[in-house]
């Protein structure tokens, strides 16, 4: 049994080489439909079949091949006068449209009065019949045995070997150029939800004797055909591992399936925000409006960095900047699957001019009084001022921060202070000073002489009276 199998394999290899290299052109095909080849190797008479006037058998065989749609046949008259003939003739049957073909081999012997049917089948009929499967290279039908690398059919297989029934032996081989298609759905894919995924099944193959005529794609492996064509695409909206199946059909209706895996990952959210429009200063409450999106879920947290050391976890916070300048605002959002995304925008906080102000020691001084002017200017950013310019309204100025000034003449003077901050922003403030004249010095009034003499006389009289009274009092004391 092992030797017979080895003989068959060796014979099949030799026949394949013969077909590809040595066989005549008519035995080869480049059609896109399969071809079946049948080789008649040997014909041998078992029972006498020729007439009494004939020398040896004159064999004549007929082969019919049908795929249910097309019937192909060949007839061949063998060299005459040989009861045992080694022929090794190959006939081809091309353009088959189905994978199962029916094969009938009729063997006849020509004589002077016509043809006699040779019995080469163990069935009730004389012809050999089988069904050959292109996909499996297996045939089913009348009995055969493997002998010396060939299939042998015989009229003796019906069990009647003693009666002259024109029995004959026939050795043959059947083969084809068809192989089942191979579906190739392409490489495994990793993508994000919402992304367009391209699929290419053009690497699927059909055998030499056929071609791929249909590509059917099932993107979700749910049994529903979603697209056709060698190349196609799909957008997966949901996360997870998907199986994409490709089914190809070749030119004789045979199918094959292949698959690839699509790993649809969570798509990170898209961080976006917009600050309140306008020019922002340190006095403004700036609103930051969250505009983040998540195509396959939702945002669950927000983290704001305002670039000045402050932060927030509110969705749309309000923030006031204490210092002017450029601040890089950064928003990081996290979705419900833990994916994050970050975006940044530069926000410029504009400089505010200083608020100029001053006080004075008197708003109604007299001429030539020392008036003290005290600077009380406030800078919104608490930055030091760079300069002061006082205009006293009388033609005099000062660049001191808190100067002292004298007004030489009376009148109303509009005193103005102009200050500049570190960015040369200007602030001004004015105050009206009303200056009055200094009163003239007091002149002493002349007292008449008689009044002076009278006053002196009064004082003298009072003195004499006091002396007199004191002496009198002293005399009255008892001894």
The answer to whether residues 407 and 381 touch, using CB atoms and an 8 Å cutoff, is no
**Which CATH class, in words, describes the domain spanning 273-350?**
mainly beta
Q: In whole angstroms, how far apart are CA 322 and each of 37, 307, 309, 329?
A: 93, 11, 11, 15
Query: Is the CATH number of domain 189-265 2.60.40.10?
Result: yes
Q: Where are the domains of the chain?
A: 2-176, 189-265, 273-350, 358-435
Q: What is the CATH number of domain 358-435?
A: 2.60.40.10
Whole-angstrom distance, CA of residue 2 vs CA of residue 35: 30
Q: What is the rounded (10 degree) CA torsion for 75, 79, 81, 83? A: -70
Q: Tokens 């990793």 appear where?
A: 190
pTM: 0.58
Question: Which residues partner with 413 through β-bridges?
Answer: 433
- The fold adopted by the segment(s) 2-176 is Immunoglobulin-like (2.60.40)
Cα-based distances in Å from 318 to 165, 286, 352, 455? 110, 5, 20, 89
Do the domains 2-176 and 273-350 sit in the same CATH topology, yes or no? yes
d(CA 60, CA 152): 18
Distance between CA atoms of residues 23 and 178, nearest Å: 18
Contact 237, 194 (CB under 8 A): yes
- Token pair for residue 451? 């009044």
- Whole-angstrom Cα distance, residue 357 to residue 375? 6
Per-residue tens of pLDDT for the chain, all 479 residues = 434 444 444 454 444 444 443 333 333 334 478 999 999 999 999 988 766 666 788 999 999 999 998 999 999 999 988 999 999 999 999 999 999 999 999 999 988 778 889 999 988 789 999 999 999 999 999 999 999 999 999 999 987 766 667 899 999 999 999 999 999 999 999 999 888 999 999 999 998 888 999 999 999 999 999 999 999 999 998 889 999 999 999 999 999 999 999 999 998 999 999 999 888 988 889 999 999 999 888 999 999 999 999 999 999 999 999 888 899 999 999 999 999 999 999 999 988 899 999 999 998 999 999 999 999 999 887 888 999 999 999 999 999 999 999 999 999 999 999 999 988 999 999 999 999 988 776 666 666 778 878 888 888 888 787 777 777 776 665 54
Cα 308 from Cα 286, distance rounded (Å)? 14
Radius of gyration of the chain (CA): 62
């Amino acid at each position: 049994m092992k030797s017979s199998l080895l003989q068959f394999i060796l014979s099949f290899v030799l026949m394949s080489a013969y077909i590809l290299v040595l066989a005549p052109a008519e035995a080869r095909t480049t059609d896109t439909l399969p071809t079946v080849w049948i080789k008649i190797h040997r014909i041998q008479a078992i029972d006498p079949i020729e007439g009494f006037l004939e020398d040896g058998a004159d064999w004549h065989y007929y082969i019919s091949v049908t795929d249910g749609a097309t019937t192909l046949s060949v007839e061949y008259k063998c060299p005459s006068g040989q009861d045992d003939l080694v022929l090794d003739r190959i006939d081809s049957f091309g353009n088959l449209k189905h994978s199962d073909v029916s094969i009938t081999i009729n063997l006849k012997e020509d004589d002077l009065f016509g043809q006699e049917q040779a019995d080469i089948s163990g069935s009730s009929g004389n012809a050999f019949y089988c069904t050959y499967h292109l996909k499996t290279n297996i045939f089913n039908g009348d009995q055969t045995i493997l002998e010396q690398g060939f299939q042998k059919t015989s009229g003796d297989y019906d069990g009647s070997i003693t009666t002259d029934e024109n029995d004959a032996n026939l050795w043959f081989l059947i083969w084809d150029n068809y192989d089942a298609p191979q579906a190739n759905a392409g490489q495994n894919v990793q993508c994000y939800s919402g992304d367009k995924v391209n699929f290419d099944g053009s690497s699927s193959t059909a055998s030499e004797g056929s071609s791929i005529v249909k590509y059917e794609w099932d993107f979700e492996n749910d049994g529903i055909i979603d697209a056709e064509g060698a190349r196609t695409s799909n957008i997966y909206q949901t996360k997870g591992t998907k199986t994409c199946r490709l089914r190809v059909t070749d030119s004789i209706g045979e199918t094959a399936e292949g698959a690839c895996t699509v790993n649809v990952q969570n798509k990170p959210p898209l961080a976006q925000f917009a600050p309140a429009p306008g020019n922002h200063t340190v006095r403004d409450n700036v609103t930051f409006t969250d505009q983040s999106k998540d195509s396959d879920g939702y945002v669950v947290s927000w983290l704001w960095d305002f670039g000045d050391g402050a932060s927030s976890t509110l969705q749309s916070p309000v923030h006031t900047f204490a210092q002017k300048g450029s601040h890089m605002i950064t928003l990081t959002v996290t979705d419900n699957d833990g994916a994050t995304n970050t975006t940044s925008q530069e926000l410029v906080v504009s400089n505010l001019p200083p608020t100029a102000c001053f006080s004075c020691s008197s708003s109604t001084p007299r001429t030539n009084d020392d008036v003290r002017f005290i600077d009380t200017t406030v800078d919104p950013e608490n930055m030091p001022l760079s300069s002061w310019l006082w205009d006293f309204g009388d033609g005099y100025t000062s660049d001191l921060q808190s100067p002292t000034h004298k007004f030489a003449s009376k009148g109303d003077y509009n005193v103005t202070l102009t200050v500049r901050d570190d960015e040369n922003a200007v602030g001004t403030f004015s105050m009206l000073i009303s200056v009055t004249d200094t009163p003239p010095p007091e002149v002493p009034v002349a007292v008449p002489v008689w009044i002076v003499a009278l006053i002196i006389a009064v004082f003298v009289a009072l003195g004499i009276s006091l002396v007199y009274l004191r002496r009198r009092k002293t005399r009255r004391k008892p001894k």
